[in-house]
Amino acid sequence: MPLPLTIAIDAMGGDSAPAVPVSATLDLLRRQPELHAILVGLPDKLEPLLGHRSTSLRERVTIQAASEVVAMDEPPGEALRRKRDSSMRVAINLVHEGRAAACVSAGNTGALMATAKFVLKTLPGVDRPAIISAIPSLGGQTLMLDLGANSVCTARQLCEFAVMGDIVASDLHGIERARVGLLNIGTEDIKGSSTLKQAHQWLRASGLNYAGFVEGTDIMSGNVDVVVTDGFTGNVALKTIEGTARMLAQVTRDEIRRSVFSRVMALGAAPLFRSLAARIDPRRYNGASFVGLRGIVIKSHGGADETAFANAIRTAVLEAQKGVPTRIGQVMAQQLLPEDSD
Protein backbone atom coordinates (compact mmCIF):
# COMPACT_ATOMS: atom_id res chain seq x y z
CA MET A 1 0.00 0.00 0.00
CA PRO A 2 1.36 3.48 -0.90
CA LEU A 3 2.69 5.61 1.93
CA PRO A 4 0.36 8.34 3.29
CA LEU A 5 0.64 11.62 1.45
CA THR A 6 -0.67 14.99 2.68
CA ILE A 7 -1.83 17.75 0.34
CA ALA A 8 -2.59 21.31 1.49
CA ILE A 9 -5.75 22.70 -0.13
CA ASP A 10 -6.41 26.44 -0.34
CA ALA A 11 -10.13 25.95 0.29
CA MET A 12 -10.96 29.65 -0.08
CA GLY A 13 -9.50 30.17 -3.57
CA GLY A 14 -11.59 30.10 -6.75
CA ASP A 15 -14.98 31.19 -8.01
CA SER A 16 -16.88 28.43 -6.18
CA ALA A 17 -14.88 28.24 -2.97
CA PRO A 18 -15.06 26.70 -0.48
CA ALA A 19 -17.75 24.28 -1.74
CA VAL A 20 -15.89 22.95 -4.80
CA PRO A 21 -12.40 22.54 -3.24
CA VAL A 22 -13.85 20.79 -0.17
CA SER A 23 -16.18 18.51 -2.12
CA ALA A 24 -13.47 17.56 -4.64
CA THR A 25 -11.00 16.84 -1.85
CA LEU A 26 -13.41 14.59 0.06
CA ASP A 27 -14.35 12.70 -3.10
CA LEU A 28 -10.70 12.04 -3.91
CA LEU A 29 -9.98 10.94 -0.34
CA ARG A 30 -12.68 8.30 -0.68
CA ARG A 31 -11.00 6.97 -3.82
CA GLN A 32 -7.41 7.15 -2.53
CA PRO A 33 -7.13 5.79 1.04
CA GLU A 34 -3.45 6.73 1.28
CA LEU A 35 -4.24 10.41 0.77
CA HIS A 36 -4.57 12.96 3.59
CA ALA A 37 -5.61 16.60 3.23
CA ILE A 38 -5.28 19.84 5.13
CA LEU A 39 -8.11 22.22 4.25
CA VAL A 40 -6.93 25.79 4.76
CA GLY A 41 -9.41 28.60 5.28
CA LEU A 42 -12.05 30.12 7.51
CA PRO A 43 -13.10 27.36 9.98
CA ASP A 44 -16.69 28.58 10.24
CA LYS A 45 -17.02 28.17 6.47
CA LEU A 46 -15.29 24.79 6.28
CA GLU A 47 -16.68 22.87 9.25
CA PRO A 48 -20.29 22.75 7.96
CA LEU A 49 -19.08 21.35 4.62
CA LEU A 50 -17.46 18.37 6.30
CA GLY A 51 -20.77 17.39 7.87
CA HIS A 52 -21.22 13.93 9.34
CA ARG A 53 -18.50 12.09 7.45
CA SER A 54 -17.35 8.60 8.28
CA THR A 55 -14.72 8.39 10.99
CA SER A 56 -12.13 6.89 8.65
CA LEU A 57 -12.56 9.77 6.20
CA ARG A 58 -12.73 12.50 8.83
CA GLU A 59 -9.49 11.27 10.39
CA ARG A 60 -7.69 12.05 7.15
CA VAL A 61 -8.92 15.64 6.94
CA THR A 62 -7.54 18.52 9.01
CA ILE A 63 -8.71 22.10 9.04
CA GLN A 64 -5.97 24.71 9.27
CA ALA A 65 -7.33 28.12 10.20
CA ALA A 66 -6.55 31.17 8.06
CA SER A 67 -8.19 34.50 8.80
CA GLU A 68 -7.84 36.15 5.37
CA VAL A 69 -8.78 35.44 1.74
CA VAL A 70 -7.03 36.74 -1.37
CA ALA A 71 -9.55 38.14 -3.85
CA MET A 72 -9.37 36.99 -7.48
CA ASP A 73 -8.70 40.57 -8.65
CA GLU A 74 -6.30 41.55 -5.88
CA PRO A 75 -2.87 42.86 -6.98
CA PRO A 76 -0.20 40.21 -6.23
CA GLY A 77 2.01 42.67 -4.37
CA GLU A 78 -0.81 43.73 -2.10
CA ALA A 79 -1.72 40.12 -1.33
CA LEU A 80 1.90 39.29 -0.54
CA ARG A 81 2.48 42.28 1.75
CA ARG A 82 -0.86 42.68 3.48
CA LYS A 83 -2.37 39.21 3.73
CA ARG A 84 0.16 37.08 5.55
CA ASP A 85 -2.58 34.95 7.09
CA SER A 86 -4.47 34.29 3.87
CA SER A 87 -5.56 30.73 3.06
CA MET A 88 -3.19 30.84 0.09
CA ARG A 89 -0.17 31.91 2.16
CA VAL A 90 -0.89 29.44 4.97
CA ALA A 91 -1.27 26.54 2.49
CA ILE A 92 2.09 27.35 0.89
CA ASN A 93 3.66 27.71 4.34
CA LEU A 94 2.57 24.13 5.09
CA VAL A 95 4.64 22.96 2.12
CA HIS A 96 7.61 25.05 3.24
CA GLU A 97 7.37 23.59 6.75
CA GLY A 98 7.19 20.04 5.43
CA ARG A 99 3.71 19.41 6.82
CA ALA A 100 2.31 18.99 3.31
CA ALA A 101 3.85 17.50 0.18
CA ALA A 102 2.12 19.97 -2.13
CA CYS A 103 -0.33 22.87 -2.27
CA VAL A 104 -3.34 23.18 -4.59
CA SER A 105 -5.18 26.46 -5.11
CA ALA A 106 -7.76 27.83 -7.55
CA GLY A 107 -7.07 31.36 -6.36
CA ASN A 108 -5.53 34.46 -7.91
CA THR A 109 -2.71 33.23 -10.21
CA GLY A 110 -0.45 36.24 -9.81
CA ALA A 111 -0.76 36.26 -6.03
CA LEU A 112 -0.20 32.51 -5.88
CA MET A 113 2.99 32.71 -7.93
CA ALA A 114 4.32 35.74 -6.02
CA THR A 115 3.62 34.09 -2.67
CA ALA A 116 5.00 30.71 -3.71
CA LYS A 117 8.20 32.26 -5.02
CA PHE A 118 8.62 34.36 -1.88
CA VAL A 119 7.99 31.51 0.57
CA LEU A 120 9.50 28.52 -1.22
CA LYS A 121 12.23 30.22 -3.30
CA THR A 122 13.55 28.91 -6.61
CA LEU A 123 15.71 25.84 -7.04
CA PRO A 124 19.48 26.22 -7.60
CA GLY A 125 20.15 26.92 -11.26
CA VAL A 126 16.64 28.25 -11.87
CA ASP A 127 16.33 31.97 -12.48
CA ARG A 128 12.54 32.09 -12.87
CA PRO A 129 9.79 29.58 -12.10
CA ALA A 130 7.31 28.88 -14.89
CA ILE A 131 3.74 27.66 -15.25
CA ILE A 132 3.36 24.44 -17.22
CA SER A 133 0.20 22.58 -18.21
CA ALA A 134 -0.96 19.94 -20.65
CA ILE A 135 -3.04 20.96 -23.67
CA PRO A 136 -5.03 18.46 -25.79
CA SER A 137 -3.43 17.69 -29.14
CA LEU A 138 -3.66 15.20 -31.99
CA GLY A 139 -1.00 13.11 -30.31
CA GLY A 140 -2.89 13.09 -27.02
CA GLN A 141 -1.48 16.14 -25.27
CA THR A 142 1.25 18.75 -25.49
CA LEU A 143 2.97 20.38 -22.53
CA MET A 144 3.39 24.14 -22.75
CA LEU A 145 5.33 26.63 -20.66
CA ASP A 146 5.44 29.43 -19.64
CA LEU A 147 1.71 30.12 -19.39
CA GLY A 148 1.80 33.42 -17.57
CA ALA A 149 4.41 33.67 -14.83
CA ASN A 150 6.95 35.70 -16.83
CA SER A 151 5.70 38.16 -19.42
CA VAL A 152 9.22 38.89 -20.66
CA CYS A 153 11.95 36.23 -20.74
CA THR A 154 15.65 36.11 -21.57
CA ALA A 155 17.19 33.43 -23.78
CA ARG A 156 18.63 31.73 -20.70
CA GLN A 157 15.23 31.57 -19.04
CA LEU A 158 13.68 30.04 -22.16
CA CYS A 159 16.42 27.42 -22.07
CA GLU A 160 15.62 26.72 -18.40
CA PHE A 161 11.96 26.25 -19.34
CA ALA A 162 12.96 23.75 -22.02
CA VAL A 163 14.95 21.68 -19.55
CA MET A 164 12.18 21.75 -16.94
CA GLY A 165 9.54 20.92 -19.55
CA ASP A 166 11.59 17.92 -20.65
CA ILE A 167 11.76 16.66 -17.05
CA VAL A 168 8.01 17.03 -16.53
CA ALA A 169 7.33 15.21 -19.82
CA SER A 170 9.58 12.35 -18.76
CA ASP A 171 8.77 12.00 -15.07
CA LEU A 172 5.04 12.81 -15.08
CA HIS A 173 3.95 11.68 -18.52
CA GLY A 174 6.44 8.93 -19.36
CA ILE A 175 7.67 10.62 -22.56
CA GLU A 176 11.30 9.69 -23.05
CA ARG A 177 13.30 12.05 -25.27
CA ALA A 178 10.43 14.51 -25.48
CA ARG A 179 10.39 16.58 -28.67
CA VAL A 180 10.87 20.20 -27.57
CA GLY A 181 9.87 23.13 -29.75
CA LEU A 182 10.46 26.87 -29.32
CA LEU A 183 7.41 28.95 -30.26
CA ASN A 184 8.09 31.56 -32.94
CA ILE A 185 6.38 33.39 -35.81
CA GLY A 186 7.97 31.00 -38.29
CA THR A 187 10.15 27.90 -38.44
CA GLU A 188 13.01 29.49 -40.40
CA ASP A 189 16.23 30.38 -38.56
CA ILE A 190 15.97 34.02 -39.67
CA LYS A 191 12.57 34.52 -38.00
CA GLY A 192 11.97 35.93 -34.52
CA SER A 193 13.64 38.20 -32.01
CA SER A 194 17.30 38.14 -31.03
CA THR A 195 16.25 36.49 -27.75
CA LEU A 196 14.55 33.63 -29.57
CA LYS A 197 17.48 33.22 -31.94
CA GLN A 198 19.92 33.06 -29.03
CA ALA A 199 17.82 30.42 -27.23
CA HIS A 200 17.43 28.53 -30.52
CA GLN A 201 21.19 28.25 -30.96
CA TRP A 202 21.77 26.95 -27.44
CA LEU A 203 18.92 24.45 -27.62
CA ARG A 204 20.32 23.12 -30.87
CA ALA A 205 23.61 22.38 -29.10
CA SER A 206 21.98 20.98 -25.97
CA GLY A 207 21.35 17.34 -25.21
CA LEU A 208 17.61 17.85 -25.51
CA ASN A 209 15.58 16.36 -28.35
CA TYR A 210 15.13 19.82 -29.81
CA ALA A 211 12.76 20.06 -32.79
CA GLY A 212 13.55 23.70 -33.56
CA PHE A 213 11.19 26.62 -34.02
CA VAL A 214 7.47 25.82 -34.08
CA GLU A 215 4.47 27.98 -34.94
CA GLY A 216 1.12 28.39 -33.24
CA THR A 217 -0.39 25.75 -35.53
CA ASP A 218 2.05 23.20 -34.10
CA ILE A 219 0.87 23.51 -30.50
CA MET A 220 -1.97 21.04 -30.97
CA SER A 221 -0.58 19.17 -33.98
CA GLY A 222 1.12 16.40 -32.02
CA ASN A 223 4.43 17.16 -33.76
CA VAL A 224 6.09 18.18 -30.49
CA ASP A 225 5.67 17.12 -26.87
CA VAL A 226 6.80 20.37 -25.21
CA VAL A 227 6.29 23.93 -26.46
CA VAL A 228 8.46 26.64 -24.87
CA THR A 229 7.57 30.32 -24.91
CA ASP A 230 7.44 33.42 -22.70
CA GLY A 231 4.53 33.85 -20.31
CA PHE A 232 2.85 36.65 -22.26
CA THR A 233 2.71 34.70 -25.52
CA GLY A 234 1.90 31.45 -23.74
CA ASN A 235 -1.03 32.93 -21.84
CA VAL A 236 -2.44 34.57 -24.97
CA ALA A 237 -2.11 31.27 -26.87
CA LEU A 238 -3.78 29.32 -24.05
CA LYS A 239 -6.71 31.74 -23.79
CA THR A 240 -7.09 31.70 -27.59
CA ILE A 241 -7.28 27.91 -27.55
CA GLU A 242 -9.86 27.97 -24.75
CA GLY A 243 -11.92 30.61 -26.53
CA THR A 244 -11.84 28.71 -29.81
CA ALA A 245 -12.98 25.52 -28.07
CA ARG A 246 -15.91 27.35 -26.45
CA MET A 247 -16.86 28.94 -29.77
CA LEU A 248 -16.85 25.59 -31.59
CA ALA A 249 -18.96 24.01 -28.85
CA GLN A 250 -21.49 26.84 -29.05
CA VAL A 251 -21.61 26.79 -32.85
CA THR A 252 -22.18 23.03 -32.75
CA ARG A 253 -25.08 23.44 -30.30
CA ASP A 254 -26.60 26.22 -32.41
CA GLU A 255 -26.41 24.11 -35.58
CA ILE A 256 -28.03 21.14 -33.84
CA ARG A 257 -30.96 23.31 -32.73
CA ARG A 258 -31.57 24.84 -36.15
CA SER A 259 -34.08 22.24 -37.34
CA VAL A 260 -35.81 18.97 -36.54
CA PHE A 261 -33.63 17.25 -39.13
CA SER A 262 -30.41 18.46 -37.49
CA ARG A 263 -31.67 17.27 -34.09
CA VAL A 264 -32.39 13.81 -35.50
CA MET A 265 -28.93 13.69 -37.10
CA ALA A 266 -27.38 14.74 -33.81
CA LEU A 267 -29.14 11.91 -31.97
CA GLY A 268 -27.55 9.44 -34.35
CA ALA A 269 -24.14 10.99 -33.79
CA ALA A 270 -24.54 11.24 -30.01
CA PRO A 271 -21.89 8.58 -29.22
CA LEU A 272 -19.41 10.43 -31.44
CA PHE A 273 -20.15 13.75 -29.73
CA ARG A 274 -19.70 12.20 -26.28
CA SER A 275 -16.38 10.66 -27.27
CA LEU A 276 -15.16 13.94 -28.73
CA ALA A 277 -16.28 15.92 -25.68
CA ALA A 278 -14.49 13.52 -23.35
CA ARG A 279 -11.31 13.70 -25.39
CA ILE A 280 -11.05 17.49 -25.32
CA ASP A 281 -12.76 18.10 -21.97
CA PRO A 282 -10.70 20.91 -20.35
CA ARG A 283 -11.39 19.42 -16.93
CA ARG A 284 -9.05 16.54 -17.82
CA TYR A 285 -6.17 18.97 -18.19
CA ASN A 286 -6.86 21.14 -15.15
CA GLY A 287 -3.92 21.64 -12.84
CA ALA A 288 -0.99 23.78 -13.95
CA SER A 289 2.34 23.24 -12.18
CA PHE A 290 4.62 25.99 -10.92
CA VAL A 291 7.95 24.40 -11.88
CA GLY A 292 11.31 25.63 -10.66
CA LEU A 293 10.31 26.14 -7.02
CA ARG A 294 11.60 24.31 -3.93
CA GLY A 295 8.19 22.79 -3.43
CA ILE A 296 5.07 21.75 -5.31
CA VAL A 297 2.34 24.27 -6.05
CA ILE A 298 -0.52 23.43 -8.42
CA LYS A 299 -2.84 26.08 -9.86
CA SER A 300 -6.39 25.00 -10.61
CA HIS A 301 -8.59 27.01 -12.94
CA GLY A 302 -10.59 29.55 -10.95
CA GLY A 303 -13.86 28.31 -12.40
CA ALA A 304 -13.08 24.61 -11.92
CA ASP A 305 -15.86 22.24 -10.90
CA GLU A 306 -15.35 19.24 -8.62
CA THR A 307 -14.05 16.98 -11.38
CA ALA A 308 -11.54 19.56 -12.59
CA PHE A 309 -10.33 20.45 -9.09
CA ALA A 310 -9.88 16.76 -8.25
CA ASN A 311 -7.65 16.43 -11.31
CA ALA A 312 -5.52 19.31 -10.04
CA ILE A 313 -5.08 17.45 -6.76
CA ARG A 314 -4.13 14.30 -8.69
CA THR A 315 -1.43 16.30 -10.46
CA ALA A 316 -0.08 17.42 -7.07
CA VAL A 317 -0.07 13.83 -5.80
CA LEU A 318 1.76 12.56 -8.87
CA GLU A 319 4.40 15.31 -8.67
CA ALA A 320 4.96 14.52 -5.01
CA GLN A 321 5.25 10.80 -5.68
CA LYS A 322 7.71 11.39 -8.52
CA GLY A 323 9.71 13.99 -6.60
CA VAL A 324 9.63 16.46 -9.48
CA PRO A 325 11.26 19.44 -7.67
CA THR A 326 14.14 17.23 -6.56
CA ARG A 327 14.62 15.95 -10.10
CA ILE A 328 14.55 19.45 -11.56
CA GLY A 329 17.05 20.62 -8.93
CA GLN A 330 19.43 17.76 -9.71
CA VAL A 331 19.31 18.31 -13.46
CA MET A 332 19.49 22.11 -13.33
CA ALA A 333 22.53 21.96 -11.06
CA GLN A 334 24.35 20.08 -13.81
CA GLN A 335 23.23 22.27 -16.70
CA LEU A 336 25.74 24.67 -18.22
CA LEU A 337 23.33 27.25 -19.54
CA PRO A 338 24.61 30.20 -21.57
CA GLU A 339 24.78 33.71 -20.25
CA ASP A 340 22.48 36.17 -21.97
CA SER A 341 24.29 38.45 -24.38
CA ASP A 342 23.81 42.20 -24.07
Same domain (yes/no): 250, 337 = no
> Do the beta carbons of residue 102 and residue 297 sit within 8 Å?
yes
Report the alpha-carbon distance of residue 97 to residue 92 in Å, rounded.
9
Domain total in the chain: 2
Q: pLDDT tens string for the chain (342 positions)?
A: 456 799 999 999 999 989 999 999 999 999 998 899 999 999 999 999 887 766 778 889 999 999 999 999 999 999 999 999 999 999 999 999 999 999 999 999 999 999 999 999 999 989 999 999 998 888 788 999 999 999 999 999 999 999 999 999 999 899 989 999 999 999 998 999 999 999 999 999 988 999 999 999 999 999 999 999 999 999 999 889 888 888 887 887 887 788 877 777 767 766 766 666 666 667 788 889 999 999 999 999 988 899 999 999 999 999 999 999 999 999 888 776 666 665
Q: Look at residues 251, 283, 315 and tell me which one is the last residue of a structural domain.
A: 283
> Do the beta carbons of residue 23 and residue 39 sit within 8 Å?
no
pTM: 0.89
CATH number of residue 163's parent domain: 3.40.718.10
Cα dihedral across residues 119, 123, 127, 132: positive or negative:
negative
Report the alpha-carbon distance of residue 178 to residue 83 in Å, rounded.
40
Q: Look at residues 264, 283, 302 and tell me which one is the last residue of a structural domain.
A: 283
Same domain (yes/no): 334, 223 = no
Report the alpha-carbon distance of residue 209 to residue 341 in Å, rounded.
24
Same domain (yes/no): 137, 122 = no
Q: Look at residues 239, 258, 283 and tell me which one is the last residue of a structural domain.
A: 283
Structural domain that includes position 93: 1-126+292-342
